[in-house]
Every structure is written in structure tokens, then in C-alpha cells.
Structure 1
Amino acid sequence: MIRASTTLITGLLSALTLFSHPVAANKLEAQPAGPTTVVWSRTDFAPFFILEGQYANQGISDQIIRLFSRKISGFNHKPTVMSLKRMLRNAQSANPICHVALLKTPERETFIDYSQPIMQNYGNGIVTTEQGLSKFGLTPDSISQIHLEDYVGRPLTISIHDGRAYEPHINDVISQWKTQPESIFQVKTGLKDHERLVHLLVNGRLDGMIARPEEVEYSKQQFGINAPLFFIPIADTPTLSLGHVGCSKGDWNKPLMAEINRLIAEDPEVRQTINAAYRQWLPEHLRQHYDLIKNLSFSPPDHSR
């Protein structure tokens, strides 16, 4: 009986000590939430994101992420390399994630909030050399849009990327003609193939590539090729498209989106950085045109990449 009472008293004293000790009590208090960590996805899509080589981290979107990370407080900014598929999967799961220069599609808008447009960039067209221009009846001083369907039966070789979604009209022409016995379209499948085809293009063994002009110009600079390239717009497709910052939906992104939109509208350093970063990767003959349109209001229609 005495031993039981002693045990009970000892237990009560231990409990009183636990709850009266200031350090132990503090451990039970709820800790304040820290800043939200926002993942900035970096996908393998040069020159928007450049993941390796002599121009690593100098991509268009790479530079914009660094600028936003420096100017936007209240968040932990975490650039992370991943595929676009993984980025979209994280956004669908409502994880705090953003992507710079993401084009709008109706499907993406169901789980992604978009900023105001941050840039306008050229759509897909035919990238070729001065020799290749002549195959389309053009010269460096007379470049104008062409109707792709007018050339499908001619002795031309045009490279396209397997599985890539182009603008709807280009997709329609390709799907109708790429399996024909005398198709002008040559299908490429990967990055190594892309490097080979750029060399074929500048060596006159390929007449053109359907691509964005900055993609092929980046490859030219990356591989140390000096020959100038030219961009031929394709009729019935948008010449320009809009890029946005896209972030997964949720209350977490409201202060971030508000600050991004404010910087886009008010901060001249943001506009200057975006324009210079994009212009760097354009073929020389397009830079003058871009200088004329870069500060115009954003009005061209959106389309998916």
C-alpha cells in the first residue's frame, strides 16, 4: 500500500514537472508556417531552358526564373529539372509549381493559372539556308509566307519531329502527306538526330526543317556553325504566339501571381531581360523584325506547343 502510494506520488510530480517546465511547454506550441517553396520547372526545351553545354543556364526561361527569384520575396524559389509531362502531373496534383513561357491550352487551364503574357514568340515555320530559300522561290530580301500544301509534290526534303504537335494547319498537311511514297517530310526522333539534321541542313543535304526559329539558331550556335539561317512563315498558322508564367491552381499562388503580373506591367528590367534573352536566339534576319514588334500589345492567338 505504501509502495503503491509512493509510485502514484512520483508519477504526479513527474507530470507537474513536465507541464510546468518552459522548454517542454514550448515544444507543444504550434510552429508558424514558413514561406511556401515554389518549384520552377526546367524542361529540356532549348533555348528556353538550356540544361548543359557551353550555354547552360543561359536559356530564355532560365534568365526569367533568376530575375523573378531575386525580385519576388515571401517564397522559397527552387528551380528543378524535369520533363514537361512531370511538371503538368505535379500541377494537376496541386503541388506548388510554375513554368515560364508556358503556352495556354484549354486542358491546361483546368488546373493551371496563367499570368499576363510575358512574351510573344515566333511559331513554327520552315527554317532553311540561303540555298534552301531558292527552293521556295525566295531570297533573303524577299522572304514571305508560303502555303505548305503547295510544295508537297515537289522535289524537297523537309524535316519534322516525330510525335510533336505543330499548329493545326501544319499538323493537317503533315498527316495527309507524310506517308505518301514521294513525301517531302523526313521524320526525326530525338536530340542526336536533331544535331545531325542541322548539319545536313547547313551542308545543303536538307532543304528545311519545320521548327521554331530560335530552336535551330540555338543548335547552330551550340555546334559552332557559321552559316546564316532564315525563317519562312507558313500561311494559315499564327506568326506569333504568347508565352505566360503558368502555376498550379490554389490559394498559395495568389500573392505570387499578383507580384508576377505587377512586375510584367511595371518593371522595365523584366521587359528588357525578356526581350534581350529571346532576341539572342533569333536568326539575324529576324532580329530587326522582332525589335519592331517586341513592345506592341500582345494580341496574337494562343496555340499549343
Structure 2
Amino acid sequence: MKFRIFIIASLFPLFAPGQTKDPQVITWMRWDDPPIFILQGPYQGQGLLDITEKIITKKLPQYSHDSLVSTVQRVLVEAEKGTHACNAGWLDTPEWHKLFYFSKPVFVIPSNGILLKKSKLEEIQSLEPYSLQKFLNKKQIWKLGVGRLYGVGIDEVLVKNQYQKNPKIITISTSLKVHQMLQSDRIQYTLGYPFEAVYYNEYLNAKDRVVHLPLTDNKPIVDVVVACPRNEWGKSVIDQVNKVLKNNPEILDEIRKGVDRWLTSEDQKRLEKPRKEMRENY
């Protein structure tokens, strides 16, 4: 099995003509979003999808594997083009089925929720059960920092509140900057996964640790799947991935350990039942 890594500047075409026509070559798309992928720094290669990609590709020796650093938006562009490129982890939603074939779940995670400092929990107890709209209504002097859209439920609230023009909502370019601003109290809360809080608490050596609060706006748990373009080549690769997962159940345990590295013991406990249900569906 051959494995090569490319970093592509956005000024140049992502794939050269003919580069991805070989059906026996899979290009695995990656993006800089710790701890989903961790491309540099002290935890390099320890991201949830770093580990998932490594485990899956080892079980597909019939293919050669390239790894290419890009952006999430470019992943979508290449999927629309039907490029021979896959993702080690994506969210299984009806919207994305238009672009991708999906494998069976490789792991499950808690959904996006509110991320804020633990010291602020006392101030928001009266807001339980938590919803994003309730925060926007009741904590009007608080600033929400956002860096992306966050999926069904949350996105509708952001759009309804005109997040791009709303003075209570600040758009921030990277997750690192979001968490730096959270630690310096330039914003009071953000949105994200619980593993983001764990990662940045460690990375920034936070004294006032950031915690994750589930929201009523979305489903509590989401499936993470391998995704390939919605064409015959993509279907063939996904069929092979599903075969690997079915015939090698220990893979799911290896992947789970990589996920647990970035989850609190409380979140691991929350996932016990969904994980059991996921395994039973195999």
C-alpha cells in the first residue's frame, strides 16, 4: 500500500488533469480543524479523523492512498465533480446524500452545542433546557462567536437571527481564534462539539475550562461515516469500506479509542447506549 501526502495552495487547481482517473487510487481529503484533523503542533496526527483514516486505509491494500490538505468547501466542489476523493469522516444527513455515498457509521459523537467557560454555568442555570434562541434572547449583552455553520437546527436559528449582521454574533475566521477570544472574554460563548472544548482546554492550558452544553435545537447524537462521491467509483469504494468494517469489528474499537482521547468521561458515558446501538446495527 502506498501512501503520499500533498498540501495544495488555494491559488492552484486542486487536482491536475488526469491525476485522479486511476480507479485504484483514493485521495483522502483533509482540512485543518483540530481535533478532527490535527495537521501541526504537539498533537499532530492524533485527531479523530487522522486516526480513522489511518485505520481504514490499512485495511484497503488493494488501493493506493493519497492524502490531500484542502478545505471543507473544496471537498464539496470535488464531490460535485465526481473526483476520486473520499473523506474519512462526514455527517450522514439527507442533504449530503445528494453528493456522497456513505458507509455504515464508523463512530458516533455528541452534537454541536454551546461552549462556554465553566465559571459561567451559574449564570445560565435558569435557561435550562438550553436552546440557542434562549441564549440570544436572555443573554443580550453576551457575544456569540461563530466560525462556520453547525448543522440542522442550529443553522436555522443563526439565519433567523441574521448572524452575519447581528451585533451580538461575531464571525471569527478559525476555531483557534474563537477559543482564544473565549479565554480572553472577548466573547462569552461559541458553538461546537465537546471534543473541541477538550482539545483547546489542553492546547491553551486553560485554567477556566470550557464545557459543552447540549442544545434542544438539534439531535443529541450524530453518526460519522466515510464519504465518497456519488458515482459508480464512489459506490465501489464504500462497498469495500463496509466490507472491511463488517469483517473486522475490532476496527470500531480502535477508532473509538481515538475518539475517546478527546472526550470527557461524562461524554463517553453519554455515548454508551448509542455506541451499543451502532454495533448492533452492523
TM-score of the aligned structures, taking structure 2 as reference length: 0.79
Alignment partner for residue 149 of structure 1, among 124, 133, 138? 133
Residue aligned with 2:190, SS = strand
Matches within 5 A, 1:91-130: 91-130=79-118
- Tell me the matched-pair count: 259
Please tell me whether residue 133 in structure 1 is matched to residue 112 in structure 2.
Answer: no
Name 1:193's counterpart in structure 2: 177
Cα 1:76–1:225 change in 2 (3 A) is same
1:137-191 CA-partner distances (Å, limit 9, x unpaired): 17xxxx96313333323355242314x2223433333344467999654442334
Cα 1:145–1:284 change in 2 (3 A) is farther
1:235-257 CA-partner distances (Å, limit 9, x unpaired): 13111111111112333344432
Measured in 2, the distance between the counterparts of 1:215 and 1:134 equals 22
Alignment partner for residue 196 of structure 2, among 215, 218, 224? 215
Measured in 1, the distance between the counterparts of 2:173 and 2:179 equals 11
Contact 1:117 1:298 (8 Å CA) reproduced: no
Name 1:288's counterpart in structure 2: 269
Matches within 5 A, 1:248-259: 248-259=229-240
Name 1:30's counterpart in structure 2: none
Name 1:165's counterpart in structure 2: 149
Measured in 2, the distance between the counterparts of 1:118 and 1:147 equals 28
| Percent identity (aligned) | 20
**Counterpart residue type for residue 87 of structure 1:** V
Residue aligned with 1:294, SS = helix
Residue aligned with 2:276, SS = coil
Bigger fraction of residues in strand: 2
Cα 1:176–1:248 change in 2 (3 A) is closer
**Residue 96 (structure 1) shift:** 1.2
RMSD: 3.1
Please tell me whether residue 262 in structure 1 is matched to residue 247 in structure 2.
Answer: no
Contact 1:47 1:59 (8 Å CA) reproduced: yes
Cα 1:193–1:34 change in 2 (3 A) is closer
TM-score of the aligned structures, taking structure 1 as reference length: 0.73
Please tell me whether residue 42 in structure 1 is matched to residue 27 in structure 2.
Answer: no
Contact 1:177 1:183 (8 Å CA) reproduced: no
Cα 1:254–1:194 change in 2 (3 A) is same
Measured in 1, the distance between the counterparts of 2:223 and 2:259 equals 13
Alignment partner for residue 65 of structure 2, among 64, 74, 77? 77
Unpaired runs of 5+ residues, structure 2, are 1-20
* Structure with bigger gyration radius: 1
**Counterpart residue type for residue 206 of structure 2:** I
Residue aligned with 1:265, SS = helix
